[in-house]
Structure 1
Amino acid sequence: MAITVRSNATAEPRTKGDRRRARLVEMLGEGTDKRASVNELAEALDVSVVTIRRDLALLEKEEVISRTYGGASLAPGRREMTMAQREVSNVVEKEAIAQVAVSLLHDGDLVILDAGSTAERIAAAIDNRFELTVVTNGLRCINRLVGQERVRVLVLGGNLRGFNETICGGDAEMTLSHIYGNIAFVGAEAVNTERGIASRTYDQSRLKSMMLRQAAQVYVIADSSKLDDTNDYPYWSPLPHEWGLITDANASSEQIDALEECGATTILLAGEQIPKDSRNPKEQP
């Protein structure tokens, strides 16, 4: 069942330069050859060639892109964006998804919260409004929750993957095996109707698979760009028989139909009207 929801999200990336460089990386990942000349990039982004060269130098230093004669391409084998770049990518969509996710929470919930930039926005959007226990493996989520006195945080320990600030591994899985949440929000590199949700590493896919099993209600959190991602990711977590999706209003009707056929019983499209409640509301005193 697809439901459209309104979000008052107005968050903006940190600086104009951050937004431009995030878009530059996205552009280099589009198309067939995934390369572009300096002049093409400058024209597309409506800035000077000098500005583009400065941006490319910064991105090359971070090993995100490779500079070629007169242009640039994504670094070989490094299509994954840094957390700083994720933070300024699809910002409005991620903020809208976060607001919808938080609208599903109730006092007393135990929430399983995956790592990632969208999950970080959920952690921030909780904003100390609920008495919750949040179980997470995301460093950025932890930092967002530190000052929220009404939120008890249980950190899944294990191996730190610094590049995306995620904790995974056997210790995290062992801890999670003793937990069953009211609701889980699980991120994805991509959502595929046959394979499930994609991960960059084997350890991440194992932990996501467990998160999908360890809550009464499971929501995959993914902006609509991830619903059409055709990258051949190496690791996947199968979706449960029944699950929910929170995405943005740019998702197409064809995408929604396909997801419903593979078990998505609730699809929340952040962007338009607010449902009364997509969960069974608890009795209020």
Structure 2
Amino acid sequence: MLANKGSLKRRLQIVELVRKRGEVSVEELSQAFDVSSVTIRTDLTYLEQQRYLVRSFGKARYLAQKPGENVLVPMADGATRKASETTIARFAAEAVDDHESLMLGTGEIVHKILPFLSDRSNLALLMQDIGMAQPAQRFLHCELVLTGGQLEQGATAMTGPDAEASVTRRSVDLCFLEASGLDRDGNLLCTDPAVARVFEAARRAATRTIVVAYQPQLNERDGEVFANVAEIDALLIDDGIDPPTMELMPRKGLQLYRRESGILEFRKSTN
């Protein structure tokens, strides 16, 4: 009997089973996962809506995926996305202790971490995004330093050699970075190469690195690599990732911890 630990894991396993066999009946899936045919049909309806398979006459057939379409959750509306990003930010903030030196990169989720640090004392913040400076002053009583560097027209994230050097010159206990993509080798991607270089410098300088992401593009190198998941301490992400990505994490030394509201935390194994 195959393991059954909730609907997400079962649906991930169903996709893999159908992919390997090409076609599987509802009855076979019901027996394999030890759940009712009604439950399996609900799973198949969901997976068909997400374009993972096609249902026909009591069977499920695998539907080959196009790059960037291998996500097991619907495209979220604005309110759902904001709520999930806020939850990810809250969990990320739990890793921060009093008296720590932090580096905050740019990104919506990283921005949302700030209010959750309001009860910490004696923090030192190094910030890449000038758009975060005012909220940081509003929510926090701490040392606040900007990386400096170049600002492209319309951008709020500082980049360039000065920003990279500013990060490497400082002692950083923990840095928070936001990924826009994740490839099959476990490389974390950023759409802006200049931002990615600052991220990479921060990751190298920091004692610990936590990466956050919401529905990142799960394709091959659609962006600039700033780290591999094997080089970070934790990845906080929504549960919309596909089976190969789920299987990749333990091979890279990250252990899965399921959090509330459909958030997954992959944390560096202590074994």
TM-score per shorter chain, which class? 0.5 to 0.7
Q: Amino acid of the residue matched to residue 200 of structure 1? A: T
Q: Which residue does 2:178 correspond to in 1?
A: 187
2:116 to 116, 125, 128: 125
Q: Which residue does 1:247 correspond to in 2?
A: 237
Q: Which residue does 2:218 correspond to in 1?
A: 229
1:203 aligns with 2:194: yes
Identity %: 15
Residues 253 and 105 of structure 1: is their aligned pair in 2 closer, same or farther, counting only changes over 3 Å? Answer: farther
Q: Which residue does 2:126 correspond to in 1?
A: 135
Q: Which residue does 1:147 correspond to in 2?
A: 138
Q: Deviations over 1:52-105 (max 9, x none)?
A: xxxxxxxxxxxxxxxxxxxxxxxxxxxxxxxxxx98671111101111111111
Q: Amino acid of the residue matched to residue 119 of structure 1? A: V
How many residues in Structure 1 have an aligned counterpart in Structure 2?
Answer: 191
1:148 shift after superposition: 3.6
Q: Which residue does 1:260 correspond to in 2?
A: 250
Q: Which residue does 2:87 correspond to in 1?
A: 96
Residues 149 and 247 of structure 1: is their aligned pair in 2 closer, same or farther, counting only changes over 3 Å? Answer: closer
Residues 106 and 195 of structure 1: is their aligned pair in 2 closer, same or farther, counting only changes over 3 Å? Answer: closer
Give 1 or 2 for the bigger CA radius of gyration: 2
Over aligned residue pairs, what C-alpha RMSD do you find? 3.2
Which 5+ residue runs of structure 2 have no aligned equivalent? 1-49, 52-76
Residues 230 and 196 of structure 1: is their aligned pair in 2 closer, same or farther, counting only changes over 3 Å? Answer: same
C-alpha contact 2:148 2:158 (8 A) present in aligned 1: yes
- Structure 1 runs, 4 residues or longer, greater than 6 Å off: 86-89
2:161 to 153, 170, 179: 170
Residues 130 and 273 of structure 1: is their aligned pair in 2 closer, same or farther, counting only changes over 3 Å? Answer: farther
Which 5+ residue runs of structure 1 have no aligned equivalent? 1-29, 32-85, 280-285
Q: Deviations over 1:236-257 (max 9, x none)?
A: 2232644210113444565332
Residues 137 and 89 of structure 1: is their aligned pair in 2 closer, same or farther, counting only changes over 3 Å? Answer: farther
Secondary structure of the structure 1 residue equivalent to 2:201: helix
